[in-house]
């Protein structure tokens, strides 16, 4: 057993170090308290350990994953904006596309010729024929849910316990250890009628999934192919085949949300593992960190949508719409950057390199864990690696909860941060990108080794 006192002592030392080395960030944050609802422009920026977020400096830098804060500390970034920055910071092709299109016009409510290239590439890469753009993955998920309800006439959305799909009310629930439904992980209730509009089952629990779907009132299953928002949870062998069979048999649409699992390869987990979703969602990284997402649908799903919202002859003007907004969706700036990202940044070669780097990261973490006899493990989904504080690979959210140790997690995050390594603030997740180098990975692994040595059994 790890000594709680040892973790608490380490945390106190690290907290003092953070305070000594982040004074300017602290002052900026205190100033922010007078005008930002959460002290910083977004509530997510409050998730970092240390008491206040570090403020990024406007310092010259080259493409990659390193940057400095306003106190002059330097960082290697494995958080990458929780995947929004998966192209790396300041990729020349992204910078060039942004500047070029901004000069013409960012948001014109008109397509540009980049649209043809991007549409064709989405078809080729992800294997679905019809696509649409939104401004965020949350928006894309909401659009898919709305379409699924429209074409099935059913009210409910089924999600897996521990999932996160953005600002999706239906998905803000999970199961507790007794199997009772509750709000997910600290989200406040807001009178949304989950009892009528949601269902939730544990990931990998096929019997529970079958019962939930056979009720016949579920419009769609919204799922990450491997869960990445609670601690990485991989699907058990055969899970996806059964999920697809059961959704088909019960007339339920299957939405696969690849916003994070795009780390699996250029075509996401879907292409890497031959999944056959009815709808496919990808956000965050797809436009190099410029707010954007895409969703694609199969030919059959498109046909059902057009039965409800007729497909128009080319010269007709559309009079009604599907009920989702997004004035900025598909704007010229995002389409220009998507073209740059898909053609020059998140390429097949880049994914090969990212995968190799993530394997190096995973090996480093596993070696330190073994060397110091710690009851932890490293889990990987392509370019994404997570350190879990449990010995057995989790099958579902309950297993992840059993291995949770908030004090230890906080100590790890702060220890890494104080030595210039950033990981996702929500749990122990790291992402490699085309700008990550083996020196960046080695930096993480050195610091992780020192942390593991501090806590050796
Ligand atoms: N889907 C998944 C799988 C996600 O992880 C997230 C965000 N973490 C979202 C959707 C929502 O993305 P956004 O906040 O950019 O809308």
Ligand 1 mean position to 268 CA, how many Å?
Answer: 15
How many Å apart are CA 141 and CA 165, to the nearest integer?
7
Q: Is the CB of 136 under 6 A from ligand 1?
A: yes
Ligand 1 mean position to 164 CA, how many Å?
Answer: 7
Query: Is 64 domain-assigned?
Result: no
Q: Is the CB of 260 under 6 A from ligand 1?
A: yes
Q: Is the CB of 75 under 6 A from ligand 1?
A: no
**Helices of type H across 250-347:** 268-272, 299-308, 332-340
Query: Is 387 domain-assigned?
Result: no
Q: Which of 79, 157, 164, 221 to mutate to test the pocket of ligand 1 (most atoms within 8 A of CB)?
A: 164
Atom of ligand 1 nearest to the CA of 166: 11
pLDDT confidence bin for 457, thresholds 50/70/90: low
Query: Is 116 domain-assigned?
Result: yes
pLDDT digits (tens, 9 = 90+) for 88-108: 999 999 999 999 999 999 999
Q: Which of 259, 292, 295 to mutate to test the pocket of ligand 1 (most atoms within 8 A of CB)?
A: 259
Q: What is the DSSP letter of 199?
A: E
Choose between 311 and 420: higher pLDDT.
420
Query: Is 131 domain-assigned?
Result: yes
Give me the percent of the chain exceeding a pLDDT of 70.
Answer: 99
Atom of ligand 1 nearest to the CA of 141: 10
The predicted structure's pLDDT at residue 61: 83
Here the CATH number for the domain that contains residue 238 is 3.40.640.10
Query: Is 394 domain-assigned?
Result: no
Q: Residue with the nearest Cα to atom 14 of ligand 1?
A: 166
The predicted structure's pLDDT at residue 3: 74
Exposure string for 304-326, b = 16+ CB within 10 A, e = fewer: bbeeeeeeeeeeeeeeeeeebeb
The predicted structure's pLDDT at residue 42: 94
Ligand 1 mean position to 118 CA, how many Å?
Answer: 21
The predicted structure's pLDDT at residue 313: 85
* CB 2 within 8 Å of CB 10: no
Q: What is the mean pLDDT of residues 388-417?
A: 95
pLDDT digits (tens, 9 = 90+) for 97-140: 999 999 999 999 999 999 999 999 999 999 999 999 999 999 99
Mean pLDDT of the chain: 96
Q: Is the CB of 284 under 6 A from ligand 1?
A: yes
Whether 276 has a pLDDT exceeding 80, the answer reads yes
Atom of ligand 1 nearest to the CA of 82: 8
Query: Is 350 domain-assigned?
Result: no
Q: Is the CB of 135 under 6 A from ligand 1?
A: no
Long-range CB pairs of 37-43 (<8 Å, 24+ gap) are none
Query: Is 35 domain-assigned?
Result: no
Question: pTM value?
Answer: 0.97
Domain of 244, in residue numbers: 92-345
Domain count of the fold of the chain: 1
C-alpha triplet 353, 354, 355: angle, nearest 5° = 90
Whether 316 has a pLDDT exceeding 90, the answer reads no
Query: Is 295 domain-assigned?
Result: yes
* CB 388 within 8 Å of CB 366: no
């Amino acid at each position: 057993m790890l000594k709680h006192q040892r973790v608490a002592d380490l945390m106190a030392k690290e907290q003092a170090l953070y305070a000594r080395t982040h004074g300017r960030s602290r002052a900026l944050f205190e100033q922010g308290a007078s005008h930002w609802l959460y002290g910083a422009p977004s509530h997510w920026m409050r998730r970092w350990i240390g008491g206040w977020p570090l403020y990024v400096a406007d310092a010259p830098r080259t493409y990659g994953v390193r940057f400095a804060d306003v106190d002059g500390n330097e960082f290697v970034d494995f958080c990458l904006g929780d995947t929004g920055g998966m192209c790396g910071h300041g990729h020349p092709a992204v910078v060039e596309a942004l500047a070029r299109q901004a000069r013409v016009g960012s948001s014109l409510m008109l397509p540009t010729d980049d649209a043809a290239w991007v549409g064709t590439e989405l078809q080729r890469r992800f294997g679905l024929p019809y696509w649409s753009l939104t401004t965020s993955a949350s928006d894309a998920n909401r659009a898919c849910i709305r379409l699924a309800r429209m074409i099935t006439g059913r009210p409910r959305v089924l999600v897996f316990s521990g999932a996160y799909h953005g600002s999706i009310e239906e998905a803000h629930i999970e199961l507790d250890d007794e199997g009772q439904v509750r709000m997910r992980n600290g989200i406040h209730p807001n009178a949304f009628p989950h009892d009528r509009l949601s269902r939730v089952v544990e990931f990998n629990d096929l019997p529970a999934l079958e019962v939930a779907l056979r009720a016949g009132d579920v419009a769609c299953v919204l799922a990450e192919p491997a869960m990445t928002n609670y601690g990485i949870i991989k699907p058990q062998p055969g899970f996806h085949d059964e999920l697809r069979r059961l959704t088909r048999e019960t007339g339920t649409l299957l939405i696969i949300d690849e916003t994070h699992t795009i780390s699996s390869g250029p075509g996401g987990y879907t292409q890497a593992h031959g999944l056959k979703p009815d709808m496919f969602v990808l956000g965050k990284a797809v436009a190099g960190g410029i707010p954007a997402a895409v969703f694609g649908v199969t030919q059959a799903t498109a046909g059902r949508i057009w039965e409800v919202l007729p497909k128009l002859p080319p010269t007709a003007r559309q009079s009604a719409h599907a009920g989702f907004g997004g004035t900025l969706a598909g704007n010229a700036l995002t389409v220009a950057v998507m073209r740059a990202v898909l053609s020059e940044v998140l390429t097949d070669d880049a994914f090969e390199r990212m995968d190799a780097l993530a394997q190096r990261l995973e090996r480093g973490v596993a070696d330190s864990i073994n060397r110091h006899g710690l009851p932890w493990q490293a889990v990987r989904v392509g370019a994404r690696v997570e350190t879990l504080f449990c010995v057995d690979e989790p099958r579902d959210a309950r297993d992840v909860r059993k291995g949770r140790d908030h004090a230890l997690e906080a100590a790890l995050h702060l220890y890494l941060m104080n030595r210039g390594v950033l990981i996702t603030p929500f749990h122990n997740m790291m992402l490699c990108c085309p700008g990550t180098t083996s020196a960046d990975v080695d930096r993480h692994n050195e610091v992780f080794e020192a942390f593991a040595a501090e806590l050796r059994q």
